[in-house]
A and B are shown apart, each in its own frame.
Chain A
Amino acid sequence: MQKLTLARVARLFVLSLAFAATAASAQSTIRIGWLSSLTGPLSSAAIAENQGVQFAVDEINAAGGVNGRKLELVTRDTSGEPTKAVNLAKQLAFVDKVDFIIGPVNSGESLATVPIVAKAGIPNLIIGTIDELVDAQKFPLAFRAINTNKQWIEAANDYALNVLKKKKIAVIGDTSGYGTAASKVAQDLLQKAGVTPVYVALVDPNKTDLTDELNKAKAAGAEVIMPWSAATGLLARLFNTRGDMGWDVPIVGHPAMMAPTVRPLLNKPDYWKNAFAAGYLSTTYDAKGKLPPRTQALMDKIRSKLGKGEIDFMFWWIALGYDTVKLVEHAVKTAGSTDAAAIGKVFENTKEFPGVYATYTWSKENRNGYPDHAIVVNIAGSFKDGSFQAAPR
């Protein structure tokens, strides 16, 4: 009887030790849920962002973690599908019980997941650009790390109206949710500036030819073409049509125009000239051909992990991914815990946090952390080693 009791006590002791170890282990990690569209039609940005996220996690863990706690990255591939993103957001919130959620990558997915993450009371770093994704009242723990769509459009409008001094603008969006919304915002902002677009069109992102659209824009007297679409195939067709028509009208618009994947789709390399797109100060060379110090430092650190030679994709995606994890580090360090309410307070009071992609500031009312002055306009065909040249002003 005594033997039995001792055995039971020993077993309970071992079990409780194991339980305590598991609990301590769970306590010791900071779990970051990462909703990323690593496969599917919009994977290019996500794959690059993932490299930045992973690099930051490894770097912080190699330095001992945050307040002695290691970061644990829980990556979920949404394939760019909102329905899948919703299921995975629920899994991260209620099964994996993560402390933070970064993403999803695309605005359409984020529209579906942000309310769910907000309801679960988990801090959410937003990396989609459409305006509806943040709301201090409805989603108090959602903080946007990327710029807003409006910031891109305002920069492009400003360039067309005040630098190129053109008032006759043709706005061409694609028929996706993003393209339609962006085209509408562009028209509204132009109207506010006292300019009515001379031509507006929405086209299917897979449309094989844009001759009709450009002929109509030309007939309407357009002096600038402004495309709002992230579909590189469509943008390349726009360049090709303009070039084949022999019409040297400036094109000013979405950053995807500058993507290196556009270059091989062009009928002639010259077709990329006289085109300008909204971009970022952090990935723009200055007059001496230098990048901002923080961008250069990250580039030097991460380059060996990206393969040999020059960087052949937009470096800002890596910088954004890297910054989201650094923002988690900043929040936990400052709050001293992963308590969601305390983390929310830290982000609300964050002023001028020096990231690579940008310097972030949020407040009680403002959940958009990206500063206006860090948006610039780049020359579309100037891609070199992940960054761009500034458009002439």
Chain B
Amino acid sequence: MFVALITGLATGALYAAAALTYNVMFSTSKVLSVTTGHISMLGGIFGAWFISTLGWPIPVALVGAMGIGAVFGLLTDFIAIRRVLARSDEHLWLLSTLALATMVQQAAGLWWGTEPKPFPRLIPQDFSAGLGDQKYWLPIVIAILLAMALELFYRRTLYGKLFVAMSEDAFAARARGIPTGRIRSMSYVIAGAMGGLAGFAAGQLTFAYFALGLTLTLNGFIALAVGGLGSNAGALVGGAALGILSAVATYFVGGEYQQTISVGLLMVVLLVKPAGLFGSQSVRPV
């Protein structure tokens, strides 16, 4: 049972990292991009490729994986978000980001192959460490660090405050001279680097696998909805809750009900507390 908790927590940390990535992109664009999980997928397969095939040192490969994520984040904004938001108020970004995510997954499958491939050991450690193995705690540590870094960024930096301003009211921010287009692009670059880092850190847990993206997109969204849209603490708690609940459900009930229970959790939260555990419903005075 303790094993289920730890493995659930590690998987949940990856979902939490995806939820944090959603948050950063959502803050400036009000878009929930379907490409969120695919950023981490790219971080995983490029990280494995940089280290195992190109022989790059691990720190360089880490920067490379984050760079790939950042570039993909920027491309997401450029290809699937910018024009769609400029031309329509409808939620057409759902389709444009889904299309981009599908294209990226297909391309990754053609290039990388459709079978999972190994992700190298990042820290020298024997495989007999059990629950102390790095594949469990690396994603947990990275998710917590990402949440803390984001809080510092929002509270202590000028750009962070600009993100918050755009999140509150993008029109007012633009009226006050904030270059909202550039800030949005920056948020996608940061989100991309975060997703790449999360995928890299969890590579040993997930293997480098081209079809990982959609799973992370879905479960990251559930974690976000449970924790509360826009809340970094909520993303952590939502991810951990989802991971642990899935693991415990599998332990007691069986794997065939795992997905049902995950989506069931989402339904319950949406019905009981639609804003999520840490979310707040904004009321616009009229």
Give the B-binding residues of A (Cβ under 8 A): 39-44, 174-175, 180, 201-204, 206-209, 211-212, 215, 232-233, 236, 240, 243-244, 246, 259, 261, 264-265, 267-268
Contact = CB atoms under 8 A, between A and B. Distances in A.
Contact of A204 (B110, B206, B211, B250): B250
Interface string B254-268: 111011000000000
20 contacts: A39-B114, A44-B113, A44-B114, A174-B255, A175-B256, A175-B258, A203-B255, A206-B212, A207-B250, A209-B7, A209-B205, A211-B7, A212-B1, A212-B250, A215-B3, A232-B116, A243-B127, A261-B116, A264-B118, A265-B117
Interface residues of B, dominant DSSP: helix
A41 B211 contact: yes
Interface string B93-126: 0000000000000100110011111100000000
B128 A244 contact: yes
Q: Give the interface size bracket for B toward A.
A: 20 to 34
B127 A202 contact: no
What are the 9 tightest A-B residue pairs by CB atom distance, in nearest-first order? Answer: A233-B116, A203-B255, A209-B7, A261-B115, A267-B127, A202-B256, A43-B114, A211-B3, A202-B255
A204 B116 contact: no
Given A208-B11, A261-B115, A265-B117, A233 B209 contact: yes
B197 interface: no
B114 A180 contact: no
Interface of B: 1, 3-4, 7, 10-11, 106, 109-110, 113-118, 127-128, 130, 135, 205-207, 209, 211-212, 215, 247, 250-251, 254-256, 258-259
Contacts of B247: 212
Contacts of B113: 44
Interface centre among A39, A203, A209, A265 (most CB of B within 10 A): A209
B114 A208 contact: no
Contact of B255 (A201, A240, A267, A268): A201
Contacts of B3: 209, 211-212, 215
Given A43-B114, A264-B118, A208 B206 contact: yes
Contacts of B4: 212
Given A202-B255, A208-B206, A265 B114 contact: no
B51 to A, nearest CB: 13
Nearest to A263: B118
A240 B127 CA distance: 9
Contacts of A233: 115-116, 207, 209
Contacts of A243: 127
A18 B211 CA distance: 49
Interface centre among B4, B115, B135, B258 (most CB of A within 10 A): B115
A317 to B, nearest CB: 14
